[in-house]
A and B are shown apart, each in its own frame.
Chain A
Amino acid sequence: MPSLFQQIQAGKLWDFHGGVHPPTRKAQTAQKPIGVLPLPDRLYIPLRQHIGVAGHVLVSKGQRVLKGQPLTSADNSMAVPVHAPTSGTVMAIAEHTSAHPSALPEITITLVPDGLDEWRSRYPLNLATSDKLSLLERIQESGIAGMGGAGFPAHLKAGLTQPVDYLIINAVECEPYITADDALIQEGAITIVKGIDILCKLLNPKAVLIGIEDDKPIASAALKAACSQREHYYVRDVPTKYPSGGEKQLIQLLTNKEVPAGRRPIDIGIVMLNVGTAFAVAQAVLDDQPLLSRIVTVTGETLSQPQNVLALIGTPVSDLLTFCGYQQQTAGKVIMGGPMMGFTLPDLTVPIIKTTNCILAPSQYELPQPGNELDCIRCSACADACPASLLPQQLLWYSKAKDPAKLDEYNLFDCIECGACAYVCPSEIPLVQYYRVAKAEIREQQREAVKAEQAKARFEARNARLEREKQQRMARNQQLAQAREQAQKTGSNSNAVADALARIKAKKAEQPAPATNREQVLAEREAKKQQAREYQAAKAAANQQPDSVSETAKQEQAVSSEPTVNESATVEPANAKSAAVAAAIARAKAKKAAQAQAEQQETIVEAEQTKQPEAIEQSSPQAATDPRKAAIAAAIARAKAKKQADSEKS
């Protein structure tokens, strides 16, 4: 019996359970050269395009950025930065429809390209001389996340420290229509192999297995030619079957090993990366070119020129469709991803992100609307098709019943959502949708459970704190009481008397000093009075002189004008104050009226209501003059109203 490694070396392939053979429809795009998209008017770059957390924004609105300049920082291991795909100006950092089935808005940087395509300075690394750490750092800083669809940060996979037996490069593009990896391999097989060299340096595997489907002979030949100089690189043509490109399925195909439920491939000594990721790694390390663009298959019968295009990250889907000659159809839909696992886009300004491999614009005949869902007839075709060997009908049953315990028992979380079960279902039940809902529900419940645990801890901590404070207060009171008691017991009366005497003495001793001060103050006051008298006398004299009439008039004017100014100044706050009071009264009345209504005192309500609008009318224009005071007044009014309501209630 030859060992597993010997069998793999000999080229043996295994099989996985189930799978389906949908029409591949890849011929539309497979043999065409990769089109280069003209520079779009706007680029929408979401901050988070991978599994993990978004980095912190490094740019500000209106800032000019160069091609390849990072827009966010990779400040923790789960963060992957995004870069400016071309030079231009940051127009906005705001919410934009996300490339997610929910289409919920996400924070997105809008970039207006300036057409210069000016690079930042680049520092390519030499593979022979650079160490692992700098390579990993470069991979992270270049923003590389799994290009196969899941978007797992590449530096985390490449930085695994566990021993790796096999590095598997996934070139199995099993979903119908999609030929993006095929096109990439045909044009860039040599770069891909360079990328694999870098990954080998980081992971040190026993062998590299490159899995590619046998319906891509040109790409397969290109890879084999590029690998011919490498001893431990094996290119394996796997039979065309959906979903052989799934991580666990491909591992089973190439190594006959199964990844245990809830575990990762590294637990059985395997690391898998997509060909696109290997290509991006080579570009990042050898050219210092971060992940700025990717190949996207734009296909479907509504397009006059379906083809693969090299699109900048952030290009709106509408630009790609226009480039490929999209003719909008009534009730036509556009799908991001393939027909099996993709999702319908709600609007076409959604950007291409790092994980987008296909834009599908099918005609009505090509991908008809799903028919009516019928009852499950328990034909078990879904169980035969399931690549994860699950029991889809049981899962459907318990998903409908919302029974998380049973769903767990039937391993719902091992479902890879490939859609094979829904594809074969004769009753046209969209099984995967049920599983997705159930999974989301269970995840939400788990989050709730964690939150409840936290809330409980906080509640208990708070109770403990309140108890502690109560104890402390009681202890202090007791201490004080004891001290008082002791003072009363031991404190001889003579002591208290002596203390009082001492205090009086001290007071007396202090008094002489202020006394002298007082005399001084009195003298000063007298002097001031004298001055005032002199001034008045002088003024009277001046008034009698006829020459100085004009002057006095001026003085008088000044005198008379001053009070007016003062008046207006005092009137305004008075106005504001009265306005505030009026507003407060109005609000209080309004609240009171509302409560009165509730108590069915109809006559009173009517009377109050007739008053109410007047009061509000009066108050509102004045209240606007001083918003702050009015706000305070309003707050007070509300407080009063509330108090009143409470007292009425009780």
Chain B
Amino acid sequence: MSLLTALLILGGLALVFGGLLGFAAVRFKVQSDPLVEQIDDILPQTQCGQCGYPGCRPYAEAIANGDDINKCPPGGDSTIRKLADLMGVEAKPLNAAQTVAIKRVAYIREDECIGCTKCIQACPVDAIVGASKLMHTVIVDECTGCDLCVEPCPVDCIDMLPVTPTPERWKWDLKAIPITQVE
């Protein structure tokens, strides 16, 4: 008798919890992988495609599925460190040979632009304005410096220029102050 009661109780509990879990799975279903969101937040969102994926989100998905974390040159070492922390893996040096040290934005030499709209189609963040057979120009504040517009330009009139510093964005230069590093 007692055996039957125990079985009934346990079976009942199993049913109740199973039901609860089943309900929760339907009711609180998460559409996307939260890990992808977290990785995407860390990536610099330049949408440059230097990692080999079309944009930052696809790369985030790839990382979540086990791709290397060191394929993002615009993010640099700090991004790799953050990704390593998040994913619980060792931080690796950047894969690409060259690192983007200075922040750059695209600049169109306007008198040479022939108005072909190829750069507009290439820009991942719609930061180039212009129309067919009319001059194009870059909205500097929106440019992420991804270089994607440089290649399609048939007349090579797009330069990547370093961002000019302003007093507000100026970083105190330690080298201007007499400091010696103690070993």
Q: What is the interface of chain A, defined by CB distance below 8 A to chain B?
A: 98, 100-102, 104, 106, 369-370, 372-375, 430, 433-434, 436-437, 440-441, 444, 447-448, 451-456, 458-459, 461-462, 631, 634-635, 638-639, 642-643
Contact = CB atoms under 8 A, between A and B. Distances in A.
B27 interface: no
A298 B132 CA distance: 61
Interface of B: 40, 43-47, 55-56, 111-112, 114, 124-127, 142, 144, 154-157, 165-167, 169-172, 174, 177-182
A28 B162 CA distance: 47
A638 B174 contact: no
A638 B156 contact: yes
B111 A631 contact: yes
Given A433-B177, A642-B154, A452 B182 contact: no
A166 B127 CA distance: 49
A100 B169 CA distance: 12
A104 B170 contact: yes
A595 B44 CA distance: 34
4 nearest interchain CB pairs? A452-B45, A102-B170, A639-B154, A440-B171
A265 to B, nearest CB: 24
B142 A458 contact: yes
Given A433-B174, A635-B114, A639-B154, A455 B142 contact: yes
A109 to B, nearest CB: 17
B177 A98 contact: no
Given A448-B44, A455-B46, A101 B111 contact: no
Contacts of A456: 40, 45, 56
B127 A458 contact: yes
Contact of B179 (A433, A440, A459): A433
A374 B182 CA distance: 6
A101 B172 contact: yes
Nearest to B172: A436
Given A372-B180, A453-B45, A437 B172 contact: yes
Nearest to B164: A104
Contacts of A631: 111-112
A634 B156 CA distance: 11
B165 A459 contact: no
10 contacts: A101-B172, A370-B178, A374-B182, A437-B172, A437-B174, A440-B171, A453-B45, A455-B45, A458-B125, A461-B126
A456 B56 CA distance: 8
Given A444-B171, A638-B154, 11 more contacts: A372-B180, A373-B181, A430-B179, A434-B174, A437-B172, A455-B142, A455-B144, A456-B45, A459-B125, A461-B126, A631-B111
A623 to B, nearest CB: 14
A433 B172 contact: yes
A458 B43 CA distance: 15
Contacts of B40: 456
Contacts of A437: 171-172, 174
A631 B178 CA distance: 51
Contacts of B156: 638, 642
Nearest to A104: B167
A441 to B, nearest CB: 6
Nearest to A403: B81
B116 to A, nearest CB: 9
A441 B165 CA distance: 14
A643 to B, nearest CB: 8
A444 B167 CA distance: 12
Contacts of A455: 45-47, 125, 142, 144
A553 to B, nearest CB: 51
A462 B126 contact: yes
